[in-house]
Structure formats: C-alpha cells, structure tokens
Structure 1
Amino acid sequence: MWRKWIKFKKWQWGLIIVISIAITYFSIPPGKPYFEVDYSTVVKSDDGSLLHVFLNKNEQWFLPPDTSSIPKKLEDAVLLYEDQNFHLHSGVDIGAVFRATYQNIRSGRIISGASTLPMQVVRLRHQNDRNIFYKVLEAIEAIKISFHFSKEKVLKMYLQHAPYGGNVIGFQTAAHKFFGKPIHSLTWSEAATLAVLPNSPGLIYPSKTNNRLFQKRNALLKKLFDKEYINELSYQLSILEPVPDEFITFKSSAPHAAFFLRSQYPAQKILNTTIDKNLQDKANYIAQKYEELYAADGIRNLACLIADSKTGEVKAYVGSPDFYDNANKGQVDGVRAYRSSGSILKPFLYALSMDEGLILPETFIRDLPTYFDGFSPNNASEDFQGVVTAKEALVKSLNIPAVRLLNSYGLFQFYSFLQEAGIKSLFRSADEYGLPLILGGAEVSVWDMVMLYRGFANEGKFSNNIILKDPESKSQKGAQLISAGSSYLTLDMLKDLKRPGSEYFWQKFNNAKDFSWKTGTSYGHKDAWAVGLNPEYTIAVWVGNFDGESNKNLSGANSAGPVLFDLLEALPSTSKEWFEFNEMDFREMKICSVSGFRASENCPKADAVYAPYGMRSMKSCDYHQKKYLSYNKDLQTCSACWDDLGAIPTKLLEYPPDIAYYLRRKGAFIESIPPHNPECSRYKAEISSKIIYPNMDAKLFLPVDFNGELQKVICKVGHTSSVNKVYWYLNEEYIGETDRQHKMAVTFKSGWNELKIVDDLGGEDLQKVFAVIKE
C-alpha cells in the first residue's frame, strides 16, 4: 500500500499538502476574543440605562458588546444595503464576485465591490490596506469565521465594530450619539441611517448643508419600500425625518460613582450598578437646588447617598452637585471623603449601652459640668439640665451625657465596635481619639454612615453597602453587633426628632410615614450631617465645604436636614409600615418611674417597660432609699437611738448632691432629707454636701489679669439635706464660709491644690485640683 503513495507525483503531493493545510486552517477556531480592542467603560443603572460612559484609550466612544439582540429593523436595513445574500453564502458571495469583476472590467475602473459582511468583519479586525492581495486573505478568513460563527454572531460583530464617523464606533454607540436612544427604540429612518453610515462614515460630521447622507438614507428607504419591508405610510413618514447633524453628548447621571467603580474594577468594561436612574436624577436635582440656595451663605458643597435599608443596594449616589464645577472642587467625591462625624455616632453608643445594661430610654443620665483629664465637654446650649432621660439626651443631642455614657461603656469597646461594623477611616488608636470620639473626633464618610445606620434596620446586623449587581451579595448576613431589641428601641427614640423648617409639621399629615433620623454638626461648624432611615431606605447627607472652611451658617438641622427630607419626599411611595415589633426580642422589666433604673423595693412607683432580651443586668435605683425617722420625722435614727426617738421606716427620694444642685437651679423643688440625730452615739456625718466644681483631679489653666492678679475660680457645692452653712478650706487653710447659696471664689496656687468643704451637719468632701498659671 505504501508503495502506491510513493508513486504520487510532486504536484499531487503538493495538492495533498495544500488540502491538509486548508483543512487544518479552517478547522481551528478563530482566537477568542475575535476582536482585541479597547472598549469604553460603561456604567449602567439597575434597568440598564446609561449612567456614565468613558472614552477609551484611543479617545473613542466605543460601547462594549452586550447580550442584547439586533433590532429587526436594523438587520433588514443593513443586509439589504450591504449583503443581500448574507444568509445564502459561506463568507464569499461568488455571484457578487463575478458581477463586480464584469462591471469593473467593462468600465475600466472599480465601480463595484463584492465584499460580504464576513469579509468586512475581517477587515475591521485587521485594518489592512484595500488591495487585491488583502482582499484574497479577507475572503479566506471570512470563510473560516462563517464556518465557526453563526450568521447572527457575524452580523453583530460587524455592527459592534463598524465606524460611524468621528470617534464613534459600533451601532449601540451610534444610536446614543446620533439619536440619544438605545438601539431597540430606533425608527425605520434611524435604522436606515445607521445602515449606510459605515460605508461612508465621513458623512456624519455635523453639517446642516451636507445632503449626501440624507440622499443615501432615502435611497435605502425607497429600496426597503420596494422590497416590501415597510409600507407606503412608513416610507412617507420616514423620508420626512431629518438626519443627525450633530453629536449628542453622553449624559452623566452619577459621575462620582462611575469614577470610583472604574478605579476599583479597571478590567471590567460593563459595570451594572444597583442605582435607580429616576431616583438618581431626582437626587441630582435636589443637590443642585440646595447648592444654589446655600451659595449666598458661603456653603459650596454637599453630598448624599440613598440605599436600600435591608439589602444595602445603593439607589442614588451624589458626590457633589456639579462634577464639572472646578471652581468649587466639584470632582471631589463627597460620598467617600472623610469628614468629622459630629454627633451622628451617638445612637450607636446608646444602643450598645442598653445591651450593656447601663441605660434604657427612660433612664436618667447626669447632665452636669464634667471633666476628664483636662477634657471638659459642653452642650451646644452651654447649659446643664442636672439629669435627663437617655431618650431626651439622644433626641436633643446633648454632649455631656454622651461623653459620660462613653466613659461608662468604655472607649476601647466603642472603638472596636466601629471597626467591626466596617469603619475603615479610623487611622488613630482609641486612646489617641479619646472621649471626644463621640462628639466628632472620628473621621467618617457618607458611605460609612449609610452602612452603619442600615445596621439598625437589620436588627443590629452590620454589612457593607452594595453598588454593583450581584445576586449573592443580597444574601449577606452581616455581623450581629447590637441586639435586635436595642436597635428597635434606638430607632423608636430617633423618631421623636423635630423636622426642620416646614417639615416641623410633617407628622401632622395623615399620610406621613415614620422616619428615624439624627443630625450632627462638627466642631468649628465645618461639617453638617443628617442621616435617616425607614424600613425601605437609608439616607445620609453631608453639607459643607470640601476645603474644610468653617462656616457659622452650617448646622446639621438647618443645613443637612432640609436636604434629607427633600430626598425623603422624592422616594417612591410605599404602603410598608414601620419596623415590626417582635416580642421575642424583649423581656419585661420594672423600672423606677423617677430614675429609670431597675426598680428596688424602696421605689414607690414602678413602670413596666420592654428591655432588650439578653441585656446585662441593670443596676437598681439608688435614688430611693429606706430611712428610719423619729416620731416627729425631723431626724433620722438608728438602733442606738430608736428607743428614745422612735424608728418609723420611710422611703425617701434622695438625689445625689450634684444632681440636686442643678435641679434647684432649674426651679425644681427638692425635698430636704432629715439629718441623723446629732446626739446619737453612733452618729457619723453622711455625705450631705459635695463639691461639684471643679471635679476630682481637674486640671485648670488660670490666666493672669491685666493688673497682674491671678484670676479666681468660682467653686460650687451641691447638697441634699437641709444644709445651711458650708465652711471652705484650701490646702488645710480656712478661706471662708457660705450660707445657703454655696459658691466660693478661690485663688489656687500653681501645681496641686486640695480643696475641702465641711457643712453644718458634719458632712465633708475633698477634691484635688491641679492649676497651671498662664502668664
């Protein structure tokens, strides 16, 4: 058998080799992807609308291929114009080749071509010169791709990579740049225009006097009518439509989100986001409206973010009102920028403190002058209430109760919570932030705040926001950092904030929905915040200046609050009610109706409230105490003097001295506590008086007056019992006495001082004070 093969002539061997090579060539699939080109990066909304389109590296508008089908109108127009036998040939139309050859020889010049769509696809891929040699190569490769790709695939490759004039590549790009619409909304006239343009892309250059494109389009429409693709009415209406005479600019609805996503996913050309195009446009409008409104007050920037409360899907992302406003740093992404948090972290401290058993919404917290190693917080009102409930302290955003609560809960524990919840902007240690962390000492972003407040909506589970579509991300469980009960109670407290401006009467409308929100203003009036949520949406707003300029007109309630509620009004209406109250998340607890702590047997009245299930044990009320009084109830007695004076058990309300002092200043009536029988052999003076200013281990910085005298410090004493006189001592030297109103101007020496008071009931208190003399 092999001897017969040897007898083959050379030309036969050559033919065998050529056939083998051809079979091998045509059997090997083309490389994937077939086109190695640089596409534009496209950012899309949740419904597929364009949010932003970037130029590619060649400064071209070149939308990447997608899975959408080719509109029938465009397919019919293109095939009728470019390749009528497209579905009959296998890459090369032999009949067209003979016809073109005959016509060209007869005329003595090239007047007709025989390129098929597969051949044009090959030419678009290689960008070769247009001569006979390359025509042959294109024909060979066209047969190959026709063998490996479906007709629909070949047609789509042609349309996706065809030039349409200027720097516009691809039929999807052309539909947007020339007609401002997606491909499936094209009319017959527009489809015909896109069909003729790749053949003469120079015709599209904006020119109102150029009729060549108009004529070519109408010729194709006439052909479509003659071939009965369209009826006479459609034809007559189509030829009346104008052809495009200018390029339409791609509108950018979410440029800051687009630039952020491109930086995070540089290799991804199509970025499908969760952003709602309609809501994004509304948010842009509101941001621009307030930018113009606040400009007169020197407030130039704002940012806002809206997300689905449950899933975390971002629905609107406004980094600044105008991305192209270079004068006001419009390209800064305010959603991602780190800014001082102001008071907006307070709700999380209150929620954590409830789980820790420190408070319930009804629990009293001290609102008194407070000092912590040189740090002295103050309320915005520069006033003190004495005591306030936790709910009132949170709703009014009082600073002193928040700092005292953070000191009790633990600075490091709260700092760790922020880190576990996903805050990555904390670049200093907990000790470096200190207690001012709760008043705005931390750096957070609008993105972070939406993420954090969503934790309340998810029953204390904290997870990151989502901006790219990902079916698996919707099921993210999140870290359980706050109990469901504490989350519900915190949201319930935040519902009681009053709305700014006209929104003050928001609750009075019959169709008003519950909404929990919190405002914050940073130190120096540099940042204004408003964050709110309901079961469906969480919104965060920041208002200020990107350059950090201070502005007295900035405040959370008056600057960020109105933006927040305009955004709330822009949200789709819904019938969904408030967060569901689940009794499994709570247990019933009896608390003192006065102090708000767990009721003891001495509390005359107790209220039944819901406490988070699993909260740590709460301390008992120490405001109410059992005392034994004489028969006349004017003295306290003990077992040593019961026989002479009597022992009537009596439950008394006894405020701590510092609280009693400020409640009296507010006009509250504080009933005096009878003193112990002074003649009792076992009598020992009780703490009936207390130095309330300065605090223990306070550090004072004392300036010298113009006359060279050292400024004095007004020291204060609070008392509970019927104290009339208080005697004052400084460093064991008597310096005077006070009667009823116990304030004393004291001159401290440089360094450590020891301030002591003794009242006329025998009670005494001692404080150490460190003074620094500033010349």
Structure 2
Amino acid sequence: MQYLKKIKPWQWGVITFLSIALLYFAIPPDNPLFNTEYSTVIRDEQGDLLHAYINKEEQWHFPPSEGIIPEKLKKAVISYEDEAFYSHPGIDPSAIARALYNNLKEGEITSGASTLTMQLARMRNPKSRSYFHKLLEVIDALKIELHYSKEEILNLYLNHAPYGGNVIGYQTAAYKFFGKKPQQLTWGEAATLAVLPNAPGLIYPGEPSKLLEVKRNSLLKKLLDRGTIEELTYQLASIEPVPDQFITFAKDAPHLSRFLKMKYPDQKELNTTISKKIQRISNQIAEKHHTVLAPYSIHNLSILIADTKTGAIKAYVGSPDFFDAQHNGQVDGVQAARSSGSILKPFLYALSMDEGLILPQSLIRDLPTYFDGFAPSNANKTFQGVATAKEALVSSLNIPAVRLLNTYGIFQFYTFLKMAGVSTLFRSADDYGLPLILGGAEVNMWDMVTLYRALANEGVVQNNSLLKEESSQQGKQVMSAGASFLTLEMMKELVRPGSEYYWRRFSNQQQFAWKTGTSFGHKDAWAIGVNPQYTIAVWVGNFNGETNKNLSGASSAGPILFDLLQALPVKPGKKWFIKNEMDFTPKKICSLSGFAATKACTEVDTVDAPYFMKPLRTCDYHETRYFSTDGKYQTCSHCWDKLGAVEKSVTLYAPDIAYYLRENGQYIEAIPRHFPDCPRYKSEQSIEIIYPNLDAKLFLPRDYDGEIQEVICKVGNTQAVEKVYWYLNESFLGSTEENHKMAIHFKPGKNYLKVVAENGSEDSRTVFAQVKE
C-alpha cells in the first residue's frame, strides 16, 4: 500500500491508459470481421459457376473463399500494395514517417502509407481521409494483426476489395472480368486484379483503359525485375488486353438455382452435384427439340438426370427457355405435378410378382372391362383376349394394368406410392380409384426419378440429392430385388423410337430399361429410363394444361430421352444390371399360361421367380378330361363303360377370351361336348354374352336422321357350338353360326337379353339402355 502511495498522478494516468489499451487489444475484433450481405452463388460438382444472384445492396459480392489464394494473385498483390506485408506488425513506421513528411511538405494529404492490414481496417469501417481517421486505422490494424494470421488477413482483404462498378472481391472479379476461376488466372490477369482495388474506377465498360494497362504493365515489370516471372512470361502478359466489359454470369440451370435459393435462403454458397457438361448437353437437346415441337403448338419440356446409384442430380432443366414468358418458361417442370400417364405401371407389375399374382410369362385378360362406371380401354382401342404380363407392360396395355390393380388392391398400391416418397398425392386411395394406374394421379419428375432408381437399386428407394454435402440417407426396401430385376428386363424390350429401333445391331449401343406415358386428353407426354449409370426423365407438354393430339410419350418424349442417352458421357464398366442368383428361385410354370404348372399342363418351363414372392396361383387354362374312344364326346364314370375313357389334357379358354382370340386370327381347337345320353349329363356353360357388359348402362346412339341405332352384341364360346339362338325380352330375334354377333335394337330402359346354344348352354343379362342425346 505504501508503494501505491508513491505513484504520482501522471503515472496513474499512464497506467490507466496502458491498461485500457491492453484491454482493447486483448478483446478480439468482431467475428465475422465484415457484416456483409453476400451474393448467392450456385456451383457445379467441380466448383464451376452455374448461377449467381446479386445481393441486397445491388452488388456482385461472392461469399469469402476458405481456400488457398492463387499464388500468382498473392505475389502480384503483395508486390503492388505491401512488400513488407509478412514482416510488419500491421503498420509500416518508416512508410508512415515518409508519408507524413511528404504531406506536410505539400500542405495536403498526398500519401497514406497504408499497409494491406490498414486498408482492410478502412474497408470494414470506411471514413473520410484525415489524420484522426488514419490514427484509428493504425489502431484497428494493430488489433487485427494480433488476432488474425497473415494468410487470413490477405484472404479477408482480397475477398472484400472493390474492383470497380458493383464488383466486390477477387472471386467475383475473376468471373466478371475474365470469366474464369481465380486459380486459372494468367500473370497478366492477376496483375490487373492486383492494381484495381487501388483505383477501381479504371474499369470502363465498353472502352479499354490505357491507364489500367500502364499500371498493370508497371507491376509486371516490377515482378520481372525481382525475378518473380521470366522475360517470356512478362512479354506475353504485357500484350494481353485489359478488360473493357463486365461479363454476364452463366445461367446454365436457372430453375434449379431458383429452387435452391428459395429452399436455402440463408446459405450463400451452394455446391451442387450438377455436372456442367451434362447440364449443357441437356440444355442444348432441350432447345433443339423445343424448336422441332413448337410448330405443333408444344412449347414446354423438362429434363432430370440422376446418377442411378447415388441419386446425385447431374442435370436439371425446368423448361427449354426460362425467359419465355409467353409460354410460362419460368414454371419448373421438374417440380410441377402432372398426370402420370402409364409411368407407374412397372411398379404395379413388380409388386404383383412379389404378391404371387404374376410372372412376366403369366397371361392377363385383355377384354372389354367394366368396373362400376369405369370402362378402361387400350390406346389402340383393340382387345387381344389375353396378353402376357411382359407384353402388357411393353405395349402399355391399359386393360391388363387396371385388372391387375383391381386384383392387387388400390389401397395397397397407393400405400406403396406414399411409402416410396411420392409427395404429390393429396387425395385418398378411394378417390383415385382404378384410374390411378392410367394417369389419374399427380406426380412430379423428381419423385419419378426416385422411384425408377429404386428398380435399379434392387428395390431400395433412396432420396435424390442436389447438394454435395447432403448425406446419403438409409434407403427403404419397397420391392424385392428379384421382382425389380425382372421388371427391368421386361422394360428393356420396349421398342425404341426412330433409328434407335435397330439398336441391337450395334455393339456400342447401351441397354436401357424405359417406359413412356401419355395422359388422358394428350396433355402430358413422359419417357423415363434407367441403366446402371443414369436415370433419365423427360416430360413434354404445355404448362397451361392445353390438350394437344400431337403429344405422346413415344413420339414426343421418347426421342428426347434417347438423344440424351446417346449424348451423355459413358463410364467404362458394367453395361447392364448384374443378376444375383440368390434373389431368385426356380419355378415350374405352364408354357401357355405362365402360372404354376399342374399335371394337366402339356408343356412346362422352368423360369426364375423372385425368391421371396408369395405362391404363384396355379394354371386354370388346362384340365384333364375323359373322351370316348372315337373322340366324339366327353365321358364320365356314368357313361365311359359304354363309350370308353381316354384321358386327355385340354386347353380351356373362357368364352370371352376365346371370342377375342378368334377375332385376332388364333385357332382354338373345339372341345367335344359331353355325351348327351349320359344319365348325369348337364349342359356346360360354354357360351357367354361378352357385350353388353354385365349390369352396364348402355347408351343408344342416334343416326343422322334422329333414329335410334342398333347395337352390335357379341357372344363368346368355348366348345364346338355351331348355332346360337338370340332372344330379347322373351322375343326370338334369330340365330348366328360360327361368328356370334348380332345387331339388336334395344328400347330405352330395362331390357332382358338371352342366348341359347344348340347344346343347351345359355347365358342372359339385364341391359339398361339410355338414349344418347
């Protein structure tokens, strides 16, 4: 205490001042050093610029880079601005003394003696030039030096230096003046960026600056004199033109960029998985086909390409022209919900295999079908009678798909879609109903790429990714690996458009599983395909929902899909999916029906079935029957003692199937009827009315003169029925032979139609007729 009494007042003042100074310098400066609103920058997978958005201050100011400053730029800046940068503590006393002497001598401020650190201090707190403000800069510079490394200071300076106009930061300047990354700058370009912050007004858009060229060349000479660059480098750099314009930033993926900016508003630098090469290929193909389609009043199309394995998005085209306001070019077709057409069918077939309903070889009925007011039809308006699951999927037959969905279950399929990540379904399963499989649902391209990737990844669905930092989430098993592989094998057989029809003739052609879809009313055309490297989705149509008869998946979207496939870079490696034998089990099936073989099946194939599939239903197209020795009649235990009993396997088609098979030219062997004198004989149900449909409402068309027209009714038969007798409301109409069709005049209201075969078999139904006004 005695010692403290000896301290003089002025000494207390010094101690207080030093304590405050020590405390001031000990407290770190603001972190971050700059409270700046940066531009939003979108980059591709290699770090190249895809898109940039100006900041709120109407400036182009890219977010600071944490990377290493290019060596050329670093040497040029230090040589020009602050040669003693790595040796001084933030200020250069000798330079300050020299500047003070010159300023006093001239009577005005002619030199500032600012180091890079002092310039950084002035950037963060800009003020008018005065000795007092210079003192504040000195103090701030010393504080910055205490808390930041030299590399951090240089990085901060270059990232916030003004480069003329509304360009801030060396990264922005490299793109804005030279159209390249800072790492790609030449010595001449690096020297230009080194001198600009000292005099940013030297950039004149549209007019080269002679003074800028002089300053740059002076710096280059200095670098030459100090041995930093060689004579040849100096000569070449000196003749480079100085920038005379501001380069417009790339806009390779405008829809993607806007989507990301809205999704991540606080993230100023977004590093995507996009490949600029693939993006530009996609843009070019989109523009090319837009030109072809526009004369047909088709103005919009969208493309999405993903890495099949990882889900990383490689190209994202929302529309062919973002700035086409007349045709809603700013609508993002990748995210927009559109009618699915037929593109959900592959998943129904895969799920039905797991359920034990079908295999690719199994027959599905392709007949006039009626479900409580819903009567699906095939695109070609014809009926085959039956088609294998593979034929039905490859030909995109609507009726087999609807019948299969009815068997599989609407709610079960709807639940699968929800579980697999289809985000656009906003109604209940019952509201969608059976049209769900024909385009009655709303889907978007993003979700469809996710789904088709699941087929390629052994039935595991995993989200797509747009940003490099997005972690790959755990996938969900939604289909078996075996069913997924068999579905891809079926889809591979779909006929390709144009010259791609002959793809098998060329060894360098890629295998590709793909599916098309066309919505009701021709408003949407889809084509989606997958191979081990890429999953590609294409949508074509008009964003205003306009109907256009020229739209179809095969002719509108298909050619774009295969143009993309042929143009994309191909990695060496597997060309098709590898079949894992552990995912399959051998299954004996009937060669005709494709269902589990019975003793009655005459030909049996052994095929691969998904290992975990439920039991496949047995074949009902073959039965064992007994015939008389002469083959004229069927017999049973009550009559074969008299006629004989020859066991024979027969093929049985339902009457409606038999009718359409015959219509399509297929020969069906007639089955002899049962022996009529057998005491236990009973006529078999060998005929069936196949049109009009059971309990359907029939609309009666009018002729040009207003008269109600007749309706063609049809009867199918399985046995050797030569003659069928027709009755309407108990009145005999006539008979038909072989091909059983009859034109009938129905009355409005309730009608009773009956047919009787000569062997005693009969069928009838009630027909409700209504005049179509």
Match of 1:634 in 2: 632
Match of 1:512 in 2: 509
Q: State yes or no: 1:497 paired with 2:494.
A: yes
Match of 1:569 in 2: 566
Long gaps (5+) in structure 2: none
Match of 1:320 in 2: 319
Match of 1:457 in 2: 456
- Structure 1 range deviating more: 502-511 or 573-582: 573-582
CA positional deviation for 1:736: 4.1
Q: Deviation per CA, 1:683-733, whole angstroms, max 9, x where unpaired?
A: 222110011112222222334445554343322110011112323344555
Match of 1:764 in 2: 762
Determine if contact 2:65/2:159 at 8 Å carries over to the other structure: no
Q: State yes or no: 1:647 paired with 2:645.
A: yes
Determine if contact 1:628/1:638 at 8 Å carries over to the other structure: yes
Amino acid paired to 2:691: Y
Q: State yes or no: 1:695 paired with 2:698.
A: no
Determine if contact 1:309/1:534 at 8 Å carries over to the other structure: yes
1:572-611 to 2 correspondence within 5 Å?
A: 572-573=569-570, 574-611=572-609
1:610-629 to 2 correspondence within 5 Å?
A: 610-629=608-627
- Structure 1 range deviating more: 491-500 or 696-705: 696-705
Determine if contact 2:334/2:444 at 8 Å carries over to the other structure: yes
| Equivalent residue in structure 2 for 1:686, among 659, 684, 687 | 684
Instruction: Say what the alpha-carbon RMSD is for the aligned residues.
Output: 1.7
- Structure 1 range deviating more: 501-510 or 701-710: 701-710
CA positional deviation for 1:209: 5.5
CA positional deviation for 1:734: 4.5
Determine if contact 1:372/1:698 at 8 Å carries over to the other structure: no
Q: State yes or no: 1:360 paired with 2:359.
A: yes
Once residues 148 and 455 of structure 1 are traced to their aligned partners in structure 2, the CA distance between those partners, rounded to angstroms, is: 52
Once residues 207 and 11 of structure 1 are traced to their aligned partners in structure 2, the CA distance between those partners, rounded to angstroms, is: 63
CA positional deviation for 1:382: 1.3
CA positional deviation for 1:335: 1.2
Identity of paired residues, percent? 62
Once residues 267 and 772 of structure 1 are traced to their aligned partners in structure 2, the CA distance between those partners, rounded to angstroms, is: 63
- Structure 1 range deviating more: 658-667 or 700-709: 700-709
Match of 1:183 in 2: 182
1:330-729 to 2 correspondence within 5 Å?
A: 330-470=329-469, 472-473=471-472, 476-573=473-570, 574-705=572-703, 707-729=705-727
Q: 1:769 to 1:615 in 2, by over 3 A?
A: farther
Structure 1 residue matching 2:471: 3-state secondary structure? helix
Structure 1 residue matching 2:623: 3-state secondary structure? strand
Match of 1:239 in 2: 238
Determine if contact 2:209/2:242 at 8 Å carries over to the other structure: no
Once residues 74 and 15 of structure 1 are traced to their aligned partners in structure 2, the CA distance between those partners, rounded to angstroms, is: 44
Amino acid paired to 1:379: N
Structure 1 residue matching 2:436: 3-state secondary structure? helix
Structure 1 residue matching 2:315: 3-state secondary structure? strand
Once residues 359 and 753 of structure 1 are traced to their aligned partners in structure 2, the CA distance between those partners, rounded to angstroms, is: 38
Match of 1:311 in 2: 310
CA positional deviation for 1:738: 2.9
Determine if contact 2:208/2:244 at 8 Å carries over to the other structure: no
1:35-114 to 2 correspondence within 5 Å?
A: 35-114=34-113
Once residues 710 and 9 of structure 2 are traced to their aligned partners in structure 1, the CA distance between those partners, rounded to angstroms, is: 120
Determine if contact 2:525/2:552 at 8 Å carries over to the other structure: yes
Determine if contact 1:624/1:651 at 8 Å carries over to the other structure: yes
Determine if contact 2:686/2:719 at 8 Å carries over to the other structure: yes
Once residues 24 and 752 of structure 1 are traced to their aligned partners in structure 2, the CA distance between those partners, rounded to angstroms, is: 102
Count the aligned residue pairs. 772
Amino acid paired to 1:671: E
Once residues 434 and 733 of structure 2 are traced to their aligned partners in structure 1, the CA distance between those partners, rounded to angstroms, is: 35
Match of 2:740 in 1: 742
Structure 2 residue matching 1:146: 3-state secondary structure? helix
CA positional deviation for 1:352: 0.9
- Structure 1 range deviating more: 703-712 or 683-692: 703-712
Once residues 209 and 319 of structure 1 are traced to their aligned partners in structure 2, the CA distance between those partners, rounded to angstroms, is: 39
Once residues 321 and 658 of structure 2 are traced to their aligned partners in structure 1, the CA distance between those partners, rounded to angstroms, is: 54
Determine if contact 1:700/1:769 at 8 Å carries over to the other structure: yes
Amino acid paired to 2:392: A
Once residues 184 and 150 of structure 2 are traced to their aligned partners in structure 1, the CA distance between those partners, rounded to angstroms, is: 23
Determine if contact 1:273/1:467 at 8 Å carries over to the other structure: yes
Once residues 709 and 231 of structure 1 are traced to their aligned partners in structure 2, the CA distance between those partners, rounded to angstroms, is: 100
Once residues 699 and 116 of structure 1 are traced to their aligned partners in structure 2, the CA distance between those partners, rounded to angstroms, is: 92
Q: Deviation per CA, 1:102-134, whole angstroms, max 9, x where unpaired?
A: 011112222211211111112111222332222
Q: 1:721 to 1:102 in 2, by over 3 A?
A: same
Q: Deviation per CA, 1:76-109, whole angstroms, max 9, x where unpaired?
A: 2211221222112212211111100001111222
Once residues 145 and 252 of structure 1 are traced to their aligned partners in structure 2, the CA distance between those partners, rounded to angstroms, is: 38
Once residues 385 and 356 of structure 2 are traced to their aligned partners in structure 1, the CA distance between those partners, rounded to angstroms, is: 22
Determine if contact 1:461/1:477 at 8 Å carries over to the other structure: no
Once residues 106 and 161 of structure 1 are traced to their aligned partners in structure 2, the CA distance between those partners, rounded to angstroms, is: 33
CA positional deviation for 1:735: 4.4
CA positional deviation for 1:658: 0.6
Match of 1:15 in 2: 14
Q: Deviation per CA, 1:534-591, whole angstroms, max 9, x where unpaired?
A: 1111111111122222222222111111111111112222332311111111111111
Once residues 207 and 584 of structure 1 are traced to their aligned partners in structure 2, the CA distance between those partners, rounded to angstroms, is: 68
Match of 1:297 in 2: 296
Once residues 12 and 189 of structure 1 are traced to their aligned partners in structure 2, the CA distance between those partners, rounded to angstroms, is: 56
Q: 1:768 to 1:584 in 2, by over 3 A?
A: farther
Once residues 261 and 754 of structure 1 are traced to their aligned partners in structure 2, the CA distance between those partners, rounded to angstroms, is: 64
Once residues 220 and 62 of structure 1 are traced to their aligned partners in structure 2, the CA distance between those partners, rounded to angstroms, is: 26
CA positional deviation for 1:3: 3.7
Amino acid paired to 2:378: N
Once residues 136 and 749 of structure 1 are traced to their aligned partners in structure 2, the CA distance between those partners, rounded to angstroms, is: 107
CA positional deviation for 1:752: 4.8
Once residues 725 and 617 of structure 1 are traced to their aligned partners in structure 2, the CA distance between those partners, rounded to angstroms, is: 41
Structure 1 residue matching 2:316: 3-state secondary structure? strand
Amino acid paired to 2:303: C
Q: 1:694 to 1:3 in 2, by over 3 A?
A: farther
Once residues 673 and 487 of structure 2 are traced to their aligned partners in structure 1, the CA distance between those partners, rounded to angstroms, is: 42
- Structure 1 range deviating more: 703-712 or 667-676: 703-712
Q: Deviation per CA, 1:728-761, whole angstroms, max 9, x where unpaired?
A: 3445555443333322333445555443322221
Determine if contact 2:255/2:322 at 8 Å carries over to the other structure: yes
CA positional deviation for 1:155: 0.8
CA positional deviation for 1:482: 0.9
Once residues 320 and 181 of structure 1 are traced to their aligned partners in structure 2, the CA distance between those partners, rounded to angstroms, is: 27
Determine if contact 1:373/1:699 at 8 Å carries over to the other structure: no
Q: Deviation per CA, 1:134-175, whole angstroms, max 9, x where unpaired?
A: 222221111111000000100110110011111100011001
Q: 1:683 to 1:749 in 2, by over 3 A?
A: same
Once residues 98 and 768 of structure 1 are traced to their aligned partners in structure 2, the CA distance between those partners, rounded to angstroms, is: 113
Long gaps (5+) in structure 1: none
The alignment's TM-score, normalised by the length of structure 2, stands at: 0.97
1:79-158 to 2 correspondence within 5 Å?
A: 79-158=78-157
Determine if contact 1:454/1:533 at 8 Å carries over to the other structure: yes
Once residues 328 and 709 of structure 1 are traced to their aligned partners in structure 2, the CA distance between those partners, rounded to angstroms, is: 46
Determine if contact 2:208/2:242 at 8 Å carries over to the other structure: no
